[in-house]
Amino acid sequence: MEPKNINGSSRIYEHDIIGWFEDISEKAGQVQTETLRRILELNWGVEYLNKWFGNINIQDMDATALESLYTSLVPLSSHADLEPYISRIADGDTAPLLTRQPIKLLSLSSGTTEGRQKLVPFTDHSARTTLQIFSLAAAYRSRVYPTREGGRILEFIYSSKQFKTKGGVTAGTATTHYYESEEFKIKQEKTKCFTCSPQEVISGGDYRQSTYCHLLLGLFFCDQVEFITSTFAFSIVQAFREFEVVWREICDDIKKGTLSERISLPKMRKAVLSIISPNPSLASKIEESCEELENQNWVGLITKFWPNSKYVYSIMTGSMQPYLQKLRHYAGGLPLVSADYGSTESWIGANVDPYLPPEDATFAVIPTFSYYEFMPLYRQNQDCGSAIDDFIEDEPVPLSKVKEGQEYDIVLTTFTGLYRCKLGDVVEVTGFHNGTPKLNFICRRKLILTINIDKNTEKDLQMVVEKGSQLLVSKARAELVDFTSHAESETQPGHYIIYWEIKGDVGEDVLGECCRKMDASFVDHGYVVSRSTNSIGPLELCIVKIGTFKKILEYFIGNGAALSQFKTPRCTSNHGLLKILSGSTIKRIYSTAYS
Ligand code: AMP
């Protein structure tokens, strides 16, 4: 059930891969049952499965009976349940523990969503599905926004360092494994669109030097660029913020065919210098545009410099939504297309409606990638239940039984050896593409702001911050650069702190209004009751110095995170981070709501 592998025109390939997906999505339920069978057959006899299946023989069992047997014998799990096995693999145990496929690599999840990095097996299947989903999404995009064969992509992508575990297994982020793989090259060949930057820039290991070179080469090839992309939208915004600072140096390099001293990595220097050559007329054109754009706060920067680009493509949903406004500002009317949904554990769904704005993006589940179950989630009655999570779970259902309008967590059984593992995301089924569900990403399940009976998810905080920051724009024409928060419970009563980095001058009165507005905008009943009775104190808004969130990014990168997978933590109790935040706070404002 693999898409046909055709050499030749990208149009034929697109036609084939869409045909393949239309076919498997039509009979998605049946394909899922078969996918589970394949996973179990391939991994039959591994220690984890033996524990639950014992001596049962599945050889002659029909796929539907096997599906029922599997879900009745194998319990739901979390990453913590599988961690002892993964640790043994990392320590060099080569016995078939989770999968019989060779585990050549281990992937690190970003760790900024869960607070801590997790290791997940990465096999040939992982790289293959990455290529498939990228090619599939590219084919759907190309129907709406056709690109020119042989064109270029300005990709803000970054490999992080790979390292060896105690047992000698190579570990790194999943995106790093992909950029280093053959599949990354194959994707360019198949889609006939080539990245502007050479491998030495992508895998340089210093994100600031890589960003500079991505920008320089993107401008050098500006007329050929068909679209602009990154894994998460944050990286594009971060790159253009950097451009606002370094554009003069970039113009100078284009003019003379040189490379700024800030690029100190010899391999990166050599690779970039072998591509560029002096181009004074292009440099002066860019310089002129920059002077003009600088006076207009860089609005429409993308369309100005890349006149042939058709769209901007990146993950713009979930925790990336706060960057949409800035991205639109830079994009100047160019369509923004939200990229696919997946995790280090498995890819899940592709955006097959690229014409929709990111706010409406959904992801059609690809039923051959993994076996997906959907665990219905119901919002809890206001004050009861644990403070870890705001949801009541119901029995997981197979893909064929999901209902439109229902919220679910996703339970993954993967070719890489995860069995009924809860992902910890909240998604809503918004409809179907043929027979496969389309998912809207709501948020991570984990609560981020909670002190006692109050419960707020990342999405709740995002909405509150959006309301507060609207005042920034309307009353002070200032801009929110980034934000995070902390639930302070060491002092009594505990209270929430929201940290804002702002670009522009804003008076105390406006900040006071923003703070009050945010405090009053938390709609969670537990918070409203606690604030009214003062068992939670007034919301504190801390304004941090310009550049603080860059420091935070560097702090994470210094601790092994990769820029390609970086998501600013929207709430933190990490000491290092809190130290940076409190050391950078220049103003504190307390809410007068509820007083
Ligand atoms: P990681 O832990 O680095 O593997 O990141 C995976 C997580 O990123 C997922 O579980 C989601 O919470 C989030 N994520 C991935 N793709 C998307 C997307 N398209 N929209 C929103 N969130 C996403």
Distance from Cα 425 to the centre of ligand 1, integer Å: 8
pLDDT bin (cut points 50, 70, 90) of residue 7 is: very low
Count the helices and strands in the chain (H runs, E runs): 20, 23
Closest ligand 1 atom to Cα of 424 = 10
Q: Is 164 exposed, middle or buried (0-12, 13-18, 19+ CB in 10 A)?
A: exposed
| pTM exceeds 0.75 | yes
Lowest mean pLDDT among 54-68, 109-123, 355-369, 532-546: 109-123
Pocket flag, ligand 1, residue 584 (CB < 6 Å)? no
CB of 113 sitting under 6 A from ligand 1: yes
With 60 as the cut, is the pLDDT of residue 385 above it? no
For range 384-402, the mean pLDDT: 79
Instruction: For the chain, give the mean pLDDT.
Output: 91
pLDDT of 30 above 90: yes
Indicate which residue's Cα is closest to atom 5 of ligand 1.
343
What integer is the mean pLDDT of 429-450? 92
Specify the residue with its C-alpha closest to ligand 1, atom 8: 343
Cα–ligand 1 centroid distance for 343 (angstroms): 5
Pocket test for ligand 1, best of 113, 347, 366 (most atoms within 8 A of CB): 113
What is the β-pairing status of strands 105-108 and 119-122?
Answer: antiparallel
Residue 188: the pLDDT is: 79
Distance from the alpha carbon of residue 15 to the mean position of ligand 1, in angstroms: 28
What separation in Å is there between the alpha carbon of 574 and the centre of ligand 1?
21
Mean pLDDT, residues 65-69 = 96
Q: How far is the CA of 560 from the centre of ligand 1 (A)?
A: 18
Size of the chain in residues: 595
Ligand 1 pocket check for 344: Cβ under 6 Å: yes
Contacts of 173 (CB under 8 A, 6+ apart): 107, 108, 109, 110, 159, 160, 344, 562, 564, 565
Which atom of ligand 1 approaches the CA of 423 most closely?
A: 10
Ligand 1 pocket, residue 238 CB under 6 Å = no
Residue pair 567/541 in contact (Cβ under 8 Å)? The answer is no
pLDDT digits (tens, 9 = 90+) for 213-242: 999 999 999 999 999 999 999 999 999 999
Q: Looking at ligand 1, which atom is closest to the CA of residue 340?
A: 19
Among protein residues, the one whose CA lies closest to atom 21 of ligand 1? 318
pLDDT at position 469 is: 94
Mean pLDDT, residues 469-488 taken together: 92
Tell whether ligand 1 has an atom less than 6 A from the beta carbon of residue 444.
Answer: yes
Are 268 and 275 in contact, with CB atoms under 8 Å apart?
no
Pick left, alpha or beta for residue 560 (phi over 0 → left; psi -120 to 50 → alpha; otherwise beta): left
119-161 pLDDT per residue, tens: 899 888 888 999 999 999 999 999 999 999 889 999 999 887 7
> How far is ligand 1, taken at its centre, from the CA of residue 80, in Å?
19
Burial class (CB in 10 A: 0-12, 13-18, 19+), 65: exposed
- In the three-class reduction of DSSP (H, G, I as helix; E, B as strand; rest coil), residue 348 is classed as strand
Atom from ligand 1 closest to the CA of residue 351: 19
234 lines ligand 1 (CB under 6 A): no
| Pairing label, strands 495-503, 540-544 | parallel
Is the shortest distance between the CB of 343 and ligand 1 below 6 Å? yes
Shortest-distance atom of ligand 1 to CA 114: 2
CB 346 within 8 A of CB 414: yes
Specify the pLDDT at position 339: 97
Ligand 1 atom nearest to CA at 173: 3
**pLDDT score at 440:** 97
At residue 585 the predicted structure's pLDDT band, cuts being 50, 70 and 90, is very high
Which of 106, 232, 343 for a ligand 1 pocket mutation test, highest count of atoms within 8 Å of Cβ?
Answer: 343
Residue 422 Cβ contacting ligand 1 at under 6 Å: no
Residue pLDDT, tens place only, 249-277? 999 999 999 999 999 999 999 999 999 99
pLDDT band at 110 (very low <50, low <70, confident <90, very high): low
CA of residue 203 to ligand 1 center, whole Å: 22
Q: What pLDDT is stored for residue 384 in this prediction?
A: 42
Percent of the chain with pLDDT over 90: 69
CA 267 to chain centre: 29
Closest CA relative to residue 411, chosen from 350, 361, 345: 345
Distance 214 CA to ligand 1 centre (A): 24
Among residues of the chain, what percentage have pLDDT more than 70? 95
- CA-to-CA separations, 44 to 33, 56, 86, 114, 361, in angstroms, rounded: 16, 11, 18, 31, 37
Q: Which of 112, 408, 425 has most ligand 1 atoms within 8 Å of CB, for mutation?
A: 425
pLDDT at 489: 85
Split at pLDDT 50, 70, 90, the class of 85 is very high
- Cβ atoms 571, 487 nearer than 8 A: yes
pLDDT at position 560 over 80? no
Q: What distance in Å separates the CA atoms of residue 545 and residue 500, rounded to the nearest whole number?
A: 9
Whether the CA torsion 268, 273, 275, 279 is positive or negative: it is positive
Q: Which atom of ligand 1 is nearest to the CA of 315?
A: 19
Ligand 1, atom 19, lies closest to the CA of 341
Query: What CA–CA distances, in Å, run from 76 to 117, 145, 169, 410, 411?
Result: 21, 42, 27, 11, 8
In the chain, the amino acid numbered 570 is: R
Strand segments (E) across 168-236: 170-173, 193-195, 225-232
Give residue-wise pLDDT tens across range 342-356. Answer: 998 999 999 999 999
Q: What is the mean pLDDT of residues 513-536?
A: 91
Answer whether 25 contacts ligand 1 (Cβ < 6 A). no
Q: Tell me how far the alpha carbon of residue 525 lies from the centroid of ligand 1, in angstroms.
A: 28
49 SS3 class: helix
State if residue 315 touches ligand 1 by the CB under 6 angstroms criterion.
Answer: yes
378-405 average pLDDT score: 78
Q: Does the beta carbon of 32 sit less than 6 angstroms from any atom of ligand 1?
A: no
The per-residue pLDDT for 479 is 92
Cα–Cα distance for residue pair 505/433, rounded to 1 Å: 48
Average pLDDT over residues 565-583: 90
* pLDDT at position 412: 97
Greater pLDDT, 447 or 100: 100
3-state SS string for 490-514: CCCCCEEEEEEEEECCCCHHHHHHH
More confident residue, 372 or 344: 372
| Ligand 1 atom with minimal separation from the 345 CA | 4
Supply the residue whose CA is at minimum distance from atom 10 of ligand 1: 343
Distance in Å, CA 302 to ligand 1 centroid: 26
Tell me, using a 6 A CB cutoff, whether residue 423 lines ligand 1.
Answer: yes
565 lines ligand 1 (CB under 6 A): yes
